[in-house]
């Protein structure tokens, strides 16, 4: 099965969230949320700026928003787990499995490990900046990883 830029973004964003301290289930939710947000923005959807205002490194005091650095998402909680929403829909770990993990077959663990190793190369300042993360950690490797992970998924 083909791994697209969407899945690469979801994994790298999830790895970013995990490396800066979110538990893995919350990190998967964050990764899927940011991939959906970026895909929608590329199609011309704008939500009045939600997603990029910020107070670097701080969780918002609002009950409905969460900041990972200067990147913002709407939050929810399910069974005591911090999850993220977009368009009123919660990005659950099960949704991550369907939209991301399923593309990899048995190769997800390897892709996840590679994504984590890649993200760990960057300093905290880069990880807490949505623009710097996109420019430095995602954009230079997105096509290479999509191709590599697609090949691995079709072999496994």
Share of the chain above pLDDT 90, in %: 78
More confidently predicted of 155 and 136: 136
* pLDDT tens digits, 81-107: 999 999 899 999 999 999 999 999 889
Strand arrangement of the beta sheet that strand 65-68 belongs to: 65-68, 71-78, 81-86, 89-91
> 0.85 exceeded by the pTM?
yes
Whether the CB-CB separation of 64 and 114 falls below 8 Å is answered with no
Q: Which residues have CB under 8 Å from 128's CB, separation 6+?
A: 20, 56, 57, 68, 69, 70
pLDDT at 58: 42
């Amino acid at each position: 099965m083909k791994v697209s830029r969407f899945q690469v973004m979801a994994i790298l964003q999830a790895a970013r969230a995990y490396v800066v301290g979110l538990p893995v289930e919350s990190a998967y939710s964050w990764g899927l949320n940011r991939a959906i947000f970026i895909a929608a923005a590329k199609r011309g959807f704008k939500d009045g700026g939600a997603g990029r205002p910020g107070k670097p490194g701080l969780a918002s005091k609002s009950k409905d928003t969460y900041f990972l650095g200067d990147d913002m998402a709407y939050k929810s909680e399910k069974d005591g787990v911090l999850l993220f929403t977009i368009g009123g829909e919660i990005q659950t770990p099960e949704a991550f499995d369907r939209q991301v993990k399923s593309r990899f077959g048995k190769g997800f663990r390897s892709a996840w490990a590679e994504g984590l190793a890649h993200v760990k190369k960057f300093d905290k300042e880069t990880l807490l900046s949505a623009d710097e993360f996109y420019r430095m950690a995602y954009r230079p490797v997105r096509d290479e990883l999509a191709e590599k992970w697609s090949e691995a998924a079709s072999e496994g």
